[in-house]
């Protein structure tokens, strides 16, 4: 194996000493002759001095010498002595010479020492930031390398995505026993792309694969490839794959792949910007290495629809693994994983907690367990109780409770009837989700109250009747305000917006309207795993006449819903009054107390 030599500081020191010795030898052998000042005066009297250059403290020039009868010239240098002293010394035939002051220490302090300090700082920075001898390290890969001995994450730490784990077990088997696949002539996919919503555990799953296979793990974010200097991203890609080949078998994991993998040709800078050069180099590297080496490339993104098609073709990221939000069984398993190191009270029911958290990701569930533990510690409890976890769910859904916010009695009364209107319509609308809690305690940024509904099971499809029921529940608060106060407030702003969105989607996207029939006019191409609120609106793709028809049918849907809701609240006005008055006293009603008030079994509930 070829031995590599690294540049060190000792090379510079050796070169400096060699230069000094050479300079000293050259001066002694070929430099001017040094004369004592008394000798200079004798040669001057003898007429041998032919040329003199007078300096501030020195004399230099040429003198005549005779050797073996041959006359020649010799350069000389002499240090001057005070004339008065030299006359006295000459009178008594005393040999004398000038003695120069030592400037060695002054030279060291004036230029040698600063030069050494400067070189030392430069050398330290080059070693610290540039182990690969590249300009300030900007072309060096920033991947974090985790050795197999440091990887403690296994599939036991990952829950709620059993299908994804089964899909990735082949990768682990290949890294452990590549011969089993190679003997049959098969090859593993070069790249595995993990796609799914944020917080579902894509990075955790990649670490678990490396931990199960016991191989080194290279972790880098897509944004770390792109640099200010042109070409540095491509350089880092080359460096990363070079390091991976040396550590094979191993796993390269690129998080947020869409940072460098977006489709080419969409940049305002044309086809030569830094991100596209980085992507081109990544495509070349993935095509160029042999899969038998044992390097598996994994990447994660929540925007797969924006990736360049060349990344997803066979031979690159040809296997895509969906890591979706967990169902109720998966949520319970995730809660169990995160609750292993938390002291839970015997009354904690994780299955019930999983039912209360539909649509939550693994990160959200971990946050609930942590928030519950913090609340219990704040209250100086010895264990985390179900009450703490329920409050943690409310905090994640609706925001931080603001008990100290002062609300005037009139506004509080409006909020109480508004939330009761939501709850009553939900209770008497077929197919609507069950009411779990009603609160008029302010939470979050602007919520003065909220009505929490929880589905009895996970749903993936919704019928037209169920969507109309959702619109009815959303309009329940606004209609209750009209019915009781004969006045409306701004509190229904968000409800009206959501109801309008559902009605418009029914007509323009789901083909549930009468005017447009089966024609669909989607508002925009929405991302696969991001909510519509996270994406700016685009222009419409239909004519003005179609837009007018669409608006008219949306308005009609909302007006029909308003009439239905008004009928429900008129019919149950006594219950609306009783529940709202009780809510003003206790501020929070759970599902059991709400059901008692709804059926008339409980007339009064003690104020909490």
Q: Rounded distance, CA 438 to CA 597, Å?
A: 12
Cα–Cα distance, 517 to 89 (Å, whole number): 126
DSSP string, 488-522: --GGGHHHHHHHHHHHHHHHHTSS--SSSTT----
Cβ–Cβ < 8 Å for 332, 354 = yes
ω into 249 cis (within 30 of 0):
yes
User: Is the separation of the CB atoms in 479 and 566 below 8 Å?
Assistant: yes
DSSP 317-332: S-EEEE-----HHHHH
Closest CA to 579 of 431, 473, 422: 422
Q: In sequence order, what are the residues at sequence separation of 6 or more whose Cβ sits closer than 8 angstroms to the Cβ of residue 240?
A: 141, 143, 218, 220, 252
All residues at 6 or more sequence positions from 143 whose CB lies less than 8 Å from its CB, including other chains: 218, 219, 220, 224, 240, 243, 252
Catalytic residue, chosen from 419, 541, 556, 604, is: 419
- Adjacency order of strands within the sheet including 250-255: 144-146, 217-221, 250-255, 295-301, 191-195, 319-322
242 φ, ψ (degrees, to nearest 5) = -65, -45
**Rounded Cα–Cα distance for residues 395 and 391 (Å):** 6
For 195, half-sphere exposure in the C-beta direction (CA atoms, 13 angstrom radius) is 19
Contact 183, 117 (CB under 8 A): no
Helix residue spans in 437-590 (DSSP H):
464-485, 493-508, 544-571, 573-586
Task: Please confirm, yes or no, whether 419 is among the known catalytic residues.
Answer: yes
The one-character DSSP state at 384 is B
- Determine contact, residues 282/236, Cβ cutoff 8 Å: no
Instruction: Take residue 154 and report the two structure tokens written for it.
Output: 């296994």
User: In 31-147, where does DSSP find H-type helix?
Assistant: 37-46, 83-91, 104-107, 113-129
Q: Which residues are known catalytic residues?
A: 419
């Amino acid at each position: 194996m070829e031995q590599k030599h690294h540049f060190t500081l000792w090379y510079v020191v050796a070169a400096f000493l060699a230069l000094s010795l050479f300079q000293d030898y050259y001066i002694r052998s070929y430099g001017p002759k040094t004369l004592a000042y008394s000798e200079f005066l004798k040669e001057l009297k003898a007429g041998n001095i032919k040329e003199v250059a007078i300096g501030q403290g020195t004399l230099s020039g040429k003198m005549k010498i005779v050797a073996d009868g041959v006359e020649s010239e010799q350069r000389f240098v002499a240090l001057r002595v005070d004339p008065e002293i030299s006359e006295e010394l000459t009178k008594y035939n005393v040999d004398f010479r000038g003695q120069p002051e030592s400037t060695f220490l002054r030279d060291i302090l004036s230029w040698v020492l600063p030069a050494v300090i400067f070189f030392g700082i430069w050398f330290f920075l080059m070693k610290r930031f540039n182990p690969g001898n590249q300009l300030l390290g900007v072309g060096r890969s920033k991947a974090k390398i985790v050795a197999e001995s440091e990887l403690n994450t296994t599939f036991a730490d990952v829950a709620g995505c059993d299908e994804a784990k089964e899909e990735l077990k082949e990768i682990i088997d290949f890294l452990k026993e590549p011969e089993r696949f190679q003997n049959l002539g098969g090859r593993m996919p070069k790249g595995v792309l993990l796609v799914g919503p944020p917080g579902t555990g894509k990075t955790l799953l990649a670490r678990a694969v490396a931990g199960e296979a016991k191989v080194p793990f290279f972790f880098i974010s897509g944004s770390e490839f792109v640099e200010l200097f042109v070409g540095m991203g491509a350089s880092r890609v080359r460096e990363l794959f070079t390091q991976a080949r040396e550590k094979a078998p191993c796993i390269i994991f690129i998080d947020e792949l869409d940072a460098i993998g977006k489709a080419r040709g969409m940049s305002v800078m044309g086809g030569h910007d830094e991100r596209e050069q980085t992507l081109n180099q990544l495509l070349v590297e993935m095509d160029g290495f042999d899969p038998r080496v044992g390097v598996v490339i994994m990447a994660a993104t929540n925007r797969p629809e924006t990736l360049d098609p060349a990344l997803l073709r066979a031979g690159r990221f040809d296997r895509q693994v969906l890591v979706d939000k967990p169902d109720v069984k998966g949520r319970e398993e995730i809660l169990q994983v995160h609750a292993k190191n938390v002291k839970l009270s015997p009354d904690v029911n994780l299955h019930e907690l999983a039912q209360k958290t539909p649509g939550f990701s693994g990160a959200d569930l971990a946050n609930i367990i942590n928030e519950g533990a913090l609340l219990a510690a704040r209250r100086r409890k010895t264990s985390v109780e179900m009450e703490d976890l329920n409050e943690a769910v409310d905090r994640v859904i609706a925001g931080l409770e603001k008990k100290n916010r002062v609300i005037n009695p009139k506004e509080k009364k409006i909020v109480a009837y508004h939330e009761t209107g939501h709850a009553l319509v939900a209770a008497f609308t077929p197919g609507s989700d069950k009411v779990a809690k009603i609160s008029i305690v302010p939470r979050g940024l602007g919520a003065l109250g909220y009505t929490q509904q929880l589905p009895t099971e996970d749903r993936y499809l919704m019928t037209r009747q169920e969507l109309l029921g959702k619109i009815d529940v959303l309009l329940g608060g606004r209609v209750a305000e009209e019915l009781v106060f004969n006045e409306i407030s701004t509190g229904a702003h968000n409800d009206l917006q959501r109801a309008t969105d559902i009605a418009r989607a029914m007509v323009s996207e789901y083909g549930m309207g009468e005017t447009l029939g089966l024609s669909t006019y989607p508002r925009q191409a929405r991302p696969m795993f991001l909510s519509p609120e996270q994406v700016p609106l685009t222009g419409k793709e239909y004519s003005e006449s179609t837009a007018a028809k669409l608006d008219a049918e949306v308005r009609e849907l909302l007006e029909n819903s308003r009439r239905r809701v008004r009928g429900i609240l008129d019919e149950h006005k006594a219950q609306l009054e009783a529940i709202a008055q009780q809510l003003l006293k206790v501020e929070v009603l759970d599902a059991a107390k709400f059901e008692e008030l709804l059926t008339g079994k409980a007339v009064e509930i003690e104020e909490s």
